[in-house]
């Protein structure tokens, strides 16, 4: 099921601007790896390379290689659609599909594809339970997701990503538009996910990284500056720039 993500000499660019320079690291399976760094340092670009979303951005180019377990993510024979089934993603702003009900949103990964899917109701329940949202929405599964709070919408998006049974979950600043209580609930969900999935969490919030992650990678100006166990990186950083960032001297 959950696999480590091996990133080797990854580079990414938007047109002439190179956003990532030669990133190499391995994100361990069944753990939360936090990606931190100031705005514009390439954190989002990095996770968007893992599920091949970066190339959907106009002008987006990627070179280098990423492996899910032993299988390459980039290559002439690799279908990005297959990669995205294996690598789920949750975005900064909640993105429920407004034309669908809560239930339809959760199983959208199946109903948007041709063919008659299997038992969707129980699949939806399982995914919503995993995302910690079931008790809050079980009586209004046919309602619009737009009536949910921001935090509930975000957990709905997590449930939707889990429903397709991925191996990896990418979370791109999932709490940046949420209030503290919703943030706490989403964080709780993230920690539970790490028991089954490889979780990559981009965050602006250093405290969040220390709360939920086992490993942390610090990015600056498109380069990986330091990567290691979260506790070590925050208590005894090897690099001056890391120290400057986590002690709040910039960013």
Partner 1 sequence: MSQEPLAATHLPLSRWGISRRQLEGRIRRRRWADRIIRGLMVASVVVVLIPLFSLLIYVGRSGIQGLDLAFFTQLPKPVGMPGGGMANAIVGSLILVGLAAAIGVPVGVMAGVFLARSTSRLADGVRFVAQVLNGVPSIVVGLAVYGLMVVPMQTYSAWAGGVALALIMIPLVTLNTEEMVRLVPRDLNEAALALGVPAWLATLRVVVRTALPGILTGIMLALARVAGETAPLLFTALNNAFWHQGLSNPIASLPVTIYNYAISPYPEWHQKAWTGALVLVAMVLITNVLARFFGRSRYDRR
Dist CA 106 CA 165 (whole Å):
12
Nearest approach, Cβ of 193 to partner 1 (angstroms)? 16
Of 51, 130, 183, 242, which one interacts with partner 1 (CB under 8 A)? 51
Of 16, 75, 76, 98, which one interacts with partner 1 (CB under 8 A)? 98
Q: Does 149 bind partner 1 (CB under 8 A)?
A: no
Backbone φ and ψ of 230, nearest 5°: -55, -45
Q: Does 120 bind partner 1 (CB under 8 A)?
A: no
Residue 108 near residue 89, CB atoms below 8 Å: no
Residue showing tokens 């957990």: 155
Of 113 and 238, the one with the shorter C-beta distance to partner 1 is 113
Of 52 and 211, the one with the shorter C-beta distance to partner 1 is 52
Enter the DSSP assignment of 10. Answer: E
Residues 158-217 that bind partner 1 (CB under 8 A): 160-161, 164
Dist CA 22 CA 37 (whole Å):
17
Of 109 and 237, the one with the shorter C-beta distance to partner 1 is 109
Q: How big is the site for partner 1, counted in residues (CB under 8 A)? A: 29
Dist CA 236 CA 207 (whole Å):
16
Q: Judging by DSSP bridges, how do beta strands 32-36 and 17-27 pair with one another?
A: unpaired
Q: Does 244 bind partner 1 (CB under 8 A)?
A: no
Of 1, 9, 15, 82, which one interacts with partner 1 (CB under 8 A)? 82
Helix, coil or strand: residue 90: strand
Q: Does 241 bind partner 1 (CB under 8 A)?
A: no
Nearest approach, Cβ of 91 to partner 1 (angstroms)? 6
Dist CA 86 CA 195 (whole Å):
17
Tokens of 181: 């209580």
Q: Does 84 bind partner 1 (CB under 8 A)?
A: yes
Q: Does 236 bind partner 1 (CB under 8 A)?
A: no
Q: Does 74 bind partner 1 (CB under 8 A)?
A: no
Nearest approach, Cβ of 212 to partner 1 (angstroms)? 21
Which residues, 6+ apart, have CB-to-CB distance to 99 below 8 Å? none
Q: Does 126 bind partner 1 (CB under 8 A)?
A: no
CA end-to-end distance (rounded Å), the chain: 36
Q: Angle of helix 120-130 relative to helix 180-193, nearest 10 degrees?
A: 110
Which residues here bind partner 1, judged by CB under 8 A? Answer: 51, 53, 56, 58, 81-86, 88-89, 91, 93, 95, 97-99, 108-109, 112-114, 144, 146, 157, 160-161, 164
């Amino acid at each position: 099921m959950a696999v480590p993500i091996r990133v080797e000499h990854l580079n990414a660019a938007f047109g002439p601007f190179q956003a990532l320079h030669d990133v190499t690291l391995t994100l361990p399976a069944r753990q939360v790896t936090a990606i931190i760094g100031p705005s514009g340092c390439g954190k989002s670009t990095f996770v968007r390379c893992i599920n091949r979303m970066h190339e959907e951005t106009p002008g987006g180019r990627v070179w280098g290689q990423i492996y899910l377990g032993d299988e390459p993510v980039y290559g002439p024979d690799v279908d990005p659609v297959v990669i995205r089934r294996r690598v789920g993603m949750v975005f900064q702003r909640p993105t429920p599909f407004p034309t669908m009900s809560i239930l339809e949103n959760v199983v959208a990964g199946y109903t948007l594809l041709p063919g008659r899917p299997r038992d969707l109701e129980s699949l939806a329940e399982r995914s919503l339970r995993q995302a910690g949202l079931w008790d809050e929405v079980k009586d209004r599964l046919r309602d619009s997701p737009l009536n949910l709070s921001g935090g509930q919408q975000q957990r709905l998006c997590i449930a939707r990503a889990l429903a397709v049974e991925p191996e990896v979950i990418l979370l791109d600043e999932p709490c940046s538009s949420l209030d503290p209580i919703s943030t706490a609930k989403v964080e709780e969900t993230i920690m539970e996910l790490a028991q089954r999935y490889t979780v990559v969490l981009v965050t602006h919030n250093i405290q969040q990284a220390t709360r939920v992650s086992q490993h942390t990678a610090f990015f600056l100006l498109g380069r990986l500056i330091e990567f290691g166990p979260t506790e070590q990186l925050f208590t005894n950083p090897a690099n001056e720039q890391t120290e400057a960032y986590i002690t709040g001297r910039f960013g």
